[in-house]
Amino acid sequence: MNNLILIGMMGCGKSTVGRLAAEKLGLAFVDTDERIEAEAGRTIPELFDAEGEEGFRARELDVSRALAREGGLVIACGGGLPTRAEAIAALKASGVVFWLNREPAVIYDTVSMAHRPLGQGGKEAFLERFRQREPIYRRWADYIIEGHAQAAEAVGRIAALYERECQA
């Protein structure tokens, strides 16, 4: 199927890098959070308020399974998607997983958390969430792209690795 899947903490640049990578590779771009919002007709914060995190994760699983059946996509996953093994396993079976590993303290200090439900607990809670997710991201990633790279540099590295995987 050859999808290119991006994982990492909220605010690490998955959507930005994903859009640029899709353009460079001639693939379609999908953000799982945007797909969920479009299908639900509500924002992520509204879904969290109405359905809780479990309800949101169920929607995320459905979207992951649907996207895994498609090919030729660059998929930017919500930060918590890999915590649901079924969701990330479905996507991984359809392509190559890249973890955008950006320093969590830098993310928190530079990205607005106002519209991010799981970013509301303050910096320590955000850093703790990263500590919990780091081994999960590491487990599912085929490649780790360290966050010190600029978006254009990250896209170049991702594109080269993706193309190599597609030829293998």
Task: Say which CATH number the domain at 96 has.
Answer: 3.40.50.300
**Closest Cα partner for 36 from 64, 8, 74?**
64
Whole-model pTM: value is 0.92
pLDDT digits (tens, 9 = 90+) for 46-101: 999 999 989 999 999 999 999 999 999 999 999 999 999 999 999 999 999 999 99
In the annotated binding site for substrate, the residues are 33, 57, 79, 133
**In the predicted structure, residue 15 carries a pLDDT above the cut 90:** yes
How high is the pLDDT of residue 125?
85
**In the predicted structure, residue 111 carries a pLDDT above the cut 80:** no
In the annotated binding site for ATP, the residues are 11-16, 116
In angstroms, rounded to a whole number, what is the distance separating the alpha carbons of residues 119 and 126?
6
Of all helices (H) and strands (E), which one includes residue 6? strand 3-7
Structure tokens given for 36: 């969920």
On average, the pLDDT of the chain sits at 91
In the annotated binding site, the residues are 11-16, 33, 57, 79, 116, 133
How high is the pLDDT of residue 57?
93
**Pairing label, strands 3-7, 28-31:** unpaired
In angstroms, rounded to a whole number, what is the distance separating the alpha carbons of residues 28 and 138?
25
In the annotated binding site for Mg(2+), the residues are 15
Domain residues for 39? 3-167
How high is the pLDDT of residue 121?
72
Query: What's the total number of domains in the chain?
Result: 1
CB pairs under 8 A, 24+ apart, for 84-91?
Answer: 84/57, 84/60, 86/61, 87/57, 87/60, 87/61, 88/7, 88/64, 88/140, 90/61, 90/64, 90/65, 91/3, 91/5, 91/64, 91/67
Calculate what percentage of the chain has a pLDDT beyond 90. Answer: 71
Residue type, position 45, single letter: P
Place 117 in a pLDDT band, splitting at 50, 70 and 90: low
Calculate what percentage of the chain has a pLDDT beyond 70. Answer: 92
In angstroms, rounded to a whole number, what is the distance separating the alpha carbons of residues 157 and 93?
21
**In the predicted structure, residue 120 carries a pLDDT above the cut 70:** no
Residue type, position 70, single letter: E
